[in-house]
Amino acid sequence: MGWGDAEGMLWTRGLLWERVWNAVGNFLFKFLVIGSAGTGKSCLLHQFIENKFKQDSNHTIGVEFGSRVVNVGGKTVKLQIWDTAGQERFRRETYNSLAAWLTDARTLASPNIVVILCGNKKDLDLEREVTFLEASRFAQENELMFLETSALTGENVEEAFLKCARTILNKIDSGELDPERMGSGIQYGDASLRQLRQPRSAQAVAPQPCGC
Amino acid sequence: MASDGARKQFWKRSNSKVPGSIQHVYGAQHPPFDPLLHGTLLKATPKVPTTPVKAKRVSTFQEFESNTSDAWDAGEDDDELLAMAAESLNTAVVMETANRVLRNHSQRQGCHKPPGALGPEQKPKPSVEPPSVPSGDLRLVKSVSESRASCPAGSASDAGPLQRSQSLPHSATVALGGVPESSTLSSSALSEREASRLDKFKQLLAGPNTDLEELRKLSWSGIPKPVRAITWKLLSGYLPANVDRRPATLQRKQKEYFAFIDHYYDSRTDEVHQDTYRQIHIDIPRMSPEALILQPKVTEIFERILFIWAIRHPASGYVQGINDLVTPFFVVFICEYIDDEDVDTADVSCVPADALRNVEADTYWCMSRLLDGIQDNYTFAQPGIQMKVKILEELVSRIDGQVHRHLDQHEVRYLQFAFRWMNNLLMREVPLRCTIRLWDTYQSEPEGFAHFHLYVCAAFLVRWRKEILEERDFQELLLFLQNLPTAHWGDGDVSLLLAEAYRLKFVFADAPSHYKK
């Protein structure tokens, strides 16, 4: 639905927040999927979680929540994914461009967030308005990962989420991200610890320009 | 978690102390309950708990049935009411009977819906309203019921982590049954009762001046489908009470609306308005019921209504969610021209162009009136919603501290699930047919959409207390709360919800301390 709307299929972006799930090597990462209305955010999430395309997708009101446990590099990672409404009204009136989305994500979450840009609706290649090259360049300039995805066919959808998770894990392993550090945006998911520390945001990752 | 629907508990316990007790039954809106018949049914079903009803507990529903309908029925010559009035039951009998009704109701629901059968209910469910236990002075009774409610067919635990589509009420067929027609127990009594209700509506509507106060009282418990459209137009204030003035008013308002179209609609491509139009344009195809909305004529009507409303209300403009509020009006009004019980499959191409224009204009005006009452839900930063969610939170903390603390302990924030409840008036949480039934009552209540809705939301949340308390994980809680298993809900469920909401309002309204800690 709304799929054929060439304008709407441009940019879907998301970012990942992360949280250490517990102390025994399991992790909880929080993902936030953001982007303009009608770009396929909910469909990406649905495809990732249910492994199928959501035909009768209603536009999202507020935030909707999804979750999936994945295995990344031998580690169990629970992804907690927040899917947001696309109408700018629900966030800020000034968001008109991808750059603004990104600034916002990095400001509101953390400068260290991991972001992947997803160019969704890759299946609608005939209606493509943004070339792969353009989007890649944008991603590079803004230090984003980038994938072209299709929530319809499922192409690269899983990969987009896993890529984020992998990147975060790598950053933790390399010490670039320290889950223990206050303000890192990462925290233990253990309930007792959680009560001691106020929830913080974390690494974001995220996503997406579109392939369209 | 909800796999055993039969054990569900609908009515929450209230610890609030309320003086008085029911001593007499003066009447009932519903046919007398036959304890023998239902007793047999109970025995036949092993799952029914045999816990004896505690003497001091009285179904909250009873009070509310009485509060909500009996008071208004007072003085009316309802046969059943009189029959019940002839009898004087003691509290224990009353309670037991009511509990049986509710239990029986949940069983029947269980029968109708085998687990896993998420298919929409085509037929309205039998009326589930238990006998009313009016206390003449409206005194409240200590309220508690162990009765279980309808058992949702799809338990959340069966479903995958992302259950939106499964529980998304809109996917259910819209069967506008209006007031339920019973197909099982006491069907003749019920249909008689419904026929009598319809007659009362018709009498009121016939004029020459419709008594709106009476109409509200009558409508609170649901409006029969044949008179729903006209009743909504009256209740919303769109139509005048005077019968003779109605045709001219309609004509004038319809003309006015189409003048707006002529005047403004072309501006949708102007730079100042194109964002608004674009958003509306991409949202409408993502609405439910799809088969209806995607008919080009319907899509265009929705676009026009929403665009005109948006540019005439610049303080809010178009905000996602407002689009949903068009649907009930449109569906109710178009049903006057469509025989099909099932609106999902209704084909508007057979509706004459003139009629369609009238439906469009009427929908616009009625929707405008509704939005007038809740406009701060949609102005910048949506202060109305923020405030309402806050009030809901405080309300729930008072009426069910356990649920409130449970959510808090698991870091579930009310905004995470209740934003949508406010923004879309629960339309995303229950099937469209239930929304329509809900709106019968909202339009009968003073500030129904703004104020009474809060109590409905509180009752709705607490309705799931058992499931909520069973979840011990943030994620599971949130998934459950965002995907409540209501796809099979019918009028009976809404009636129970409204009765509980009425009780909450009765207890908690005008008690500002309840809102303040």
3-class DSSP state of A171: helix
Q: Which of B182, B164, B177 is nearest to B118 (CA)?
A: B164
Measured between CA atoms, the residue of chain A closest to residue B283 is A59
Which of B164, B170, B475 minimises the CB distance to A80? B475
Which residues in chain A have their CB less than 8 angstroms from residue B475's CB?
A: 65, 67, 78, 80
Q: Is A93 exposed, middle or buried (0-12, 13-18, 19+ CB in 10 A)?
A: exposed
Which residues in chain B have their CB less than 8 angstroms from residue A8's CB?
A: 282
Which residues in chain A have their CB less than 8 angstroms from residue B416's CB?
A: 62-63, 65
Could you count the other beta carbons within 10 Å of the beta carbon of residue B475?
Answer: 17
- What's the first-to-final CA gap in chain A, in angstroms? 15
ipTM: 0.76
Which residues in chain A have their CB less than 8 angstroms from residue B164's CB?
A: 42, 46, 54, 64
Give the model's pLDDT for residue B86: 42
As a whole number of angstroms, the distance between CA B441 and CA B212 comes to 14
As a whole number of angstroms, the distance between CA B94 and CA B131 comes to 8
As a whole number of angstroms, the distance between CA A21 and CA A27 comes to 4
Measured between CA atoms, the residue of chain B closest to residue A53 is B165
> Can you read off the two tokens belonging to residue B425?
């008036």
Which of A5, A90, A199 minimises the CB distance to B282? A5
Measured between CA atoms, the residue of chain A closest to residue B382 is A90
> CB–CB of B282 and A61 under 8 A?
no
Judged by a CB distance cut-off of 8 A, whether residue A49 touches chain B is yes
Beta strands A27-35; A12-19: pairing state: antiparallel
Which residues in chain A have their CB less than 8 angstroms from residue B423's CB?
A: 61-62
Give the model's pLDDT for residue B443: 97
> CB–CB of A46 and B164 under 8 A?
yes
Which residues in chain B have their CB less than 8 angstroms from residue A45's CB?
A: 162
Q: Is B114 exposed, middle or buried (0-12, 13-18, 19+ CB in 10 A)?
A: exposed
Which of A8, A64, A67 minimises the CB distance to B282? A8
Q: Which residues contact B378 (CB under 8 A, 6 or more apart)?
A: B316, B317, B319, B321, B322, B371, B384
Q: Do you know the residue count of chain B?
A: 517
- Per the CB < 8 A criterion, the answer to whether B148 and B45 are in contact is no
- Per the CB < 8 A criterion, the answer to whether A115 and A13 are in contact is yes
Could you count the other beta carbons within 10 Å of the beta carbon of residue B509?
Answer: 14
Burial A179-191 (b: 16+ CB within 10 A, else e): beeeebbbbbbee
Judged by a CB distance cut-off of 8 A, whether residue A199 touches chain B is yes
Looking at the DSSP assignment, which residues form a beta bridge with residue A35? A12
Give start and end residues of each alpha helix (H) in B400-431.
Answer: 401-409, 414-423
Q: Which residues of chain A have pLDDT under 70?
A: 1-25, 88-101, 104-105, 108-110, 179-212
Q: Cα separations (Å) of B181 from B78, B162, B190?
A: 18, 35, 7
- For residue B180, say if its preceding peptide bond is cis, omega within 30 degrees of 0: no
> CB–CB of B288 and A49 under 8 A?
no
> CB–CB of B171 and A56 under 8 A?
yes
> CB–CB of B420 and A62 under 8 A?
yes
Q: Cα separations (Å) of A101 from A97, A130, B37, B297?
A: 6, 17, 64, 36
**Strand ranges of the sheet holding A145-148, from the earlier edge strand across to the other edge:** A63-72, A75-84, A27-35, A12-19, A114-119, A145-148
As a whole number of angstroms, the distance between CA B181 and CA B194 comes to 8
Q: Which residues contact B151 (CB under 8 A, 6 or more apart)?
A: B2, B4, B5, B6, B8, B106, B109, B110, B113
Phi, psi torsion values for A100, nearest 5 degrees: -70, -40
pLDDT digits (tens, 9 = 90+) for A63-118: 899 999 999 988 888 898 988 887 765 544 333 456 666 776 677 666 778 889 99
**Sign of torsion over alpha carbons B458, B463, B468, B469:** positive
> Count of A–B CB contacts within 8 Å?
87
> CB–CB of A50 and B160 under 8 A?
yes
Q: Tell me the nearest-neighbour CA distance from A133 into chain B, angstroms.
A: 27
Which of A49, A62, A194 minimises the CB distance to B423? A62
Q: Return the residue in A7, A41, A53, A64 with the most chain B beta carbons within 10 A, the one to mutate for interface testing.
A: A64
Q: Cα separations (Å) of A27 from A76, A141, B460?
A: 7, 30, 34
Which residues in chain B have their CB less than 8 angstroms from residue A54's CB?
A: 164-165
> Can you read off the two tokens belonging to residue B414?
């009310």
As a whole number of angstroms, the distance between CA A185 and CA A22 comes to 15
> Can you read off the two tokens belonging to residue A42?
């909910």
Measured between CA atoms, the residue of chain B closest to residue A80 is B475
Report CA Rg, chain B: 23
Phi, psi torsion values for A72, nearest 5 degrees: -125, 120
Give the model's pLDDT for residue A74: 87
As a whole number of angstroms, the distance between CA A203 and CA A110 comes to 7
Angle formed at CA B71 by CA B69 and CA B74, multiple of 5 degrees: 105
Judged by a CB distance cut-off of 8 A, whether residue A80 touches chain B is yes
Q: Which residues of chain B have pLDDT under 50?
A: 1-62, 64-94, 109-173, 177-184, 514-517
> CB–CB of A194 and B411 under 8 A?
yes
Measured between CA atoms, the residue of chain B closest to residue A9 is B282
**Sign of torsion over alpha carbons B255, B325, B290, A51:** positive
Judged by a CB distance cut-off of 8 A, whether residue A38 touches chain B is yes
Q: Which of B436, B422, B467 is nearest to B149 (CA)?
A: B467
Burial B386-405 (b: 16+ CB within 10 A, else e): eebbebbbbbbbbbbeebbe
Give the model's pLDDT for residue B105: 53
Looking at the DSSP assignment, which residues form a beta bridge with residue A11? A209
Which of B162, B416, B424 minimises the CB distance to A49? B162
Which of A37, A38, A63 minimises the CB distance to B416? A63
pTM (2 d.p.): 0.70
Q: Which residues contact B500 (CB under 8 A, 6 or more apart)?
A: B11, B60, B61, B64, B459, B462, B463
3-class DSSP state of A30: strand
Could you count the other beta carbons within 10 Å of the beta carbon of residue B279?
Answer: 27
Looking at the DSSP assignment, which residues form a beta bridge with residue A116? A14, A145
**Sign of torsion over alpha carbons B395, B167, B498, B365:** positive
As a whole number of angstroms, the distance between CA B209 and CA B145 comes to 42
Judged by a CB distance cut-off of 8 A, whether residue A64 touches chain B is yes
3-class DSSP state of B228: helix
Measured between CA atoms, the residue of chain B closest to residue A93 is B380
Q: Tell me the nearest-neighbour CA distance from B478 into chain A, angstroms.
A: 7
Which residues in chain A have their CB less than 8 angstroms from residue B478's CB?
A: 65
- For residue B130, say if its preceding peptide bond is cis, omega within 30 degrees of 0: no
Find the chain B residues whose C-beta atoms sit closer than 8 A to any C-beta of A.
Answer: 160-162, 164-165, 168, 170-171, 278-279, 282-283, 285-288, 290, 317, 319-321, 380, 411, 415-416, 419-420, 423-424, 428, 475, 478-479, 482
Give the model's pLDDT for residue A30: 83
